[in-house]
Amino acid sequence: MLVLNAPERYLRLLDPPPDLHIDLGVIEGAVYDDVHLFTLDKGTVDREGPAVLDLMGPTTRLWVCFPQRGGTIITDLAADKGWDTLVDAGWRPTAQEPIDSDWAALRFTRTATG
């Protein structure tokens, strides 16, 4: 699993099993089953999204975590807004999960043409 830009408390909340290997930065040549990208705003999605998509294998699961409404972090993202870079690259949000009072995660999957 690759986790990028996560707040320190995320790994405690995630509570991964001891045998799960987590990289907190990209390791050249690594293949990831899951990628969790934390982003504060649309600008971060636009800057970091394309590089993250380049890491995606055919079965890699992509979760993009963003500040949710009502939390303490101000953002220009919402579940239905700010994801143009990913959508234009052939990905679409298919599920949303709360992480804590500040963060939510959107699961992205490839579209048929992506």
Percent above pLDDT 90 for the chain: 81
The model's confidence at residue 113, banded by pLDDT at 50, 70 and 90, is low
Question: How would you list the strands of the sheet with 103-110, edge to edge?
Answer: 2-4, 34-38, 61-67, 103-110, 91-98
**Could you read off the pLDDT of 20-40 as tens digits, one per residue?**
999 999 999 888 999 999 999
**Could you read off the pLDDT of 41-73 as tens digits, one per residue?**
999 999 999 999 999 999 999 999 999 988 899
Type of residue numbered 82: G
Q: What is the pTM of this model?
A: 0.92
Cβ count within 10 A of residue 40: 16
Which residues make Cβ contacts (< 8 Å) with residue 51, sequence separation at least 6?
A: none
Alpha-carbon distance 25 to 39, whole Å?
Answer: 14
